[in-house]
Homo-oligomer: A and B are copies of this chain.
Amino acid sequence: MQFTAQDISFLLNGTVEGNPQAIVDQLAKIEEASAGSLSFLANPKYEQYLYTTGASIVIVNNDLVLAEPVKATLIRVENAYSAFSVLLEQYNTIKLNKTGIEQPNFVHPSAQVGDDCYIGAFAYIGPGVKVGKGCKIYPHTYIADNVTIGDNVTLFPGVKVYFDCVIGNNVIVHSGAIIGSDGFGFAPKPDGTYSKISQIGNVILEEDVEVGANTTIDRATMGSTIIRKGVKLDNLIQVAHNVEIGANTVVAAQTGISGSTKIGENCIIGGQVGLVGHISIAKGSQIQAQSGVSRTITEEGKRWAGAPAVSYLGNQRSQIIITRLPDLEKRIIELEKIIAEFKK
């Protein structure tokens, strides 16, 4: 798709400075842009690039004063950053604007699918499933028996949702994520083998949740594994059975949350963190990447780090001294020698 400076200016309620017929067909960073690109300048740090950029059109703030002549056509707006964000979003909406029903697909006669849904080829929608309005069910997705899906939900290609799970409005699940696989529950038997504990609960993803690629969320043994409203999960995360993650908590890639652990609201959890089972994490907690959290955190809004996790500052102090350990050991040996001398 191609747009002129005039089109974009009209959309953003801006003013064109330069050629209103300048044409762009892609978005790019100002320092990397080539001809045909639309870019923006918000951070004054990047102003230098305005005078050298290859971009055909650049969105700038109304109050920008040019230090040199500019080759690109400018569009002046109140706030260049948010104007560009609006364009980004519209661009993405167009890119992801899949519609219609592709063949072959499998939709069980007892399933209900709302209006204006996209159903990709090879998608599978099982018996008793309810899908709301405006959903995008991409190819190779699997939605098992009696799953309930809200409105405007996007399941990217290859998402698998096991039976009885519930997905709220506006949820986005990326490719390869598995929702509702069995919790890891086995009872040891006297002969050293294990018997499987049936996992009959489900997973609930509340509104506005986003789940990253190849993340796994196990169903509850009984009851529900619950991901509250607005939670954002990155890729390759493990969420075990009966976990609950509080609203608006953000979890980075490859973190693992063990069974029955409850995480509060508005937490920020780094990548590759491990949390043991059956603990709770106070709301607003921030946990550094690669930490191992082995006990309940009751103080709200604190930072934690290390394995086992302690206060962020405490961990920093210990970490610094660890790098000095060889020196410390030498100093102890030195003291011991001196003391031995004294004793003589």
Q: Which residues of B contact A56 (CB under 8 A)?
A: none
Give residues 151-179 of A contacting B (CB, 8 Å). 156-158, 160, 162-164, 172, 174-176, 178
Assess whether B142 is in contact with A157, with CB atoms less than 8 Å apart: yes
A239 to B186, CA, bound (A): 21
A81 CB to nearest chain B CB (Å): 10
B174 & A178 in contact (Cβ 8 Å cutoff): yes
For residue A49, CB closer than 8 A to chain B, the reply is no
Q: Would B325 and A317 count as touching, CB distance under 8 A?
A: yes
**What is the CA–CA distance of A328 and B318 in the complex, to the nearest angstrom?**
10
Q: Is the CB of A318 within 8 A of B307?
A: no
> What distance in Å separates the Cβ of A315 from its nearest Cβ neighbour in chain B?
9
Known pairs A317-B326, A319-B308; A29 contacts B222 (CB<8 A)? yes
CA distance A297 to B172 in the complex (A): 36
Check B292 against A292 for contact (C-beta < 8 Å).
Answer: no
Identity of the chain B residue whose Cβ is nearest the Cβ of A254 in the assembled complex: B256
Whether B216 pairs with A213 at a CB distance below 8 angstroms is: yes
Q: Does A14 contact B (CB under 8 A)?
A: no
Query: Does the CB pair A160–B163 fall under 8 Å?
Result: no
Measured between alpha carbons, how far is A57 from B319 in the docked complex, in Å?
55
State whether the Cβ of A28 lies closer than 8 Å to any Cβ in chain B.
yes
- The residue of chain B having its C-beta at the shortest distance from the C-beta of A141 within the complex is B140
Query: Could you mark each residue 172-207 of chain A with 1 if its beta carbon is under 8 Å from any beta carbon of chain B, else 0?
Result: 101110100110101000001110111110000000
- Nearest-neighbor residue (CB-CB) of A334 within chain B: B336
Among A324-340, those with CB < 8 Å from B are 324-326, 328-329, 331-332, 335-336, 338-339
For the complex, give the distance between the alpha carbons of A83 and B318 in Å. 51
Q: Is the CB of A325 within 8 A of B322?
A: yes
A303 to B55, CA, bound (A): 41
**A212→B106 contact, CB < 8 A:** no
Main secondary structure of the interface of A (DSSP, over half): loop
> Would A175 and B162 be within 8 Å (CB), given that A289-B276, A318-B326, A335-B339 are in contact?
yes
Chain A contacts with B in 109-166, Cβ cutoff 8 A: 120-122, 124, 138-140, 142, 144-145, 156-158, 160, 162-164
B120 touches A222 (CB 8 A): no
Query: Which of A3-11, A16-24, A71-79, A88-96 forms contacts with chain B?
Result: A88-96
Q: Which residues of B contact A299 (CB under 8 A)?
A: none
Give the residues from 197 to 241 in chain A that come closer than 8 angstroms, CB to CB, to chain B: 197-200, 208, 210, 212-214, 216, 218, 222-223, 230, 232, 234-236, 238, 240
Given known pairs A92-B198, A216-B235, A230-B194, the reply for A175 and B175 (CB within 8 Å) is: no
Cβ contacts under 8 Å, A200 to chain B? 27, 88, 91-92, 95
B-side contacts of A310, CB under 8 Å: 323
Q: Which residues of B contact A140 (CB under 8 A)?
A: 122, 124, 140, 142, 158, 160
Among candidates B88, B238, B314, B317, residue contacting A253 with C-beta atoms closer than 8 Å: B238
Residue in B121, B222, B328 whose beta carbon sits within 8 Å of that of A332 in the complex: B328
6 contacts between A and B (CB under 8 A): A92-B198, A213-B216, A254-B256, A258-B289, A272-B272, A331-B336
8 extra A-B contacts, CB within 8 A, seeds A178-B214, A274-B290: A27-B200, A88-B200, A91-B200, A106-B122, A122-B124, A218-B235, A317-B325, A317-B326
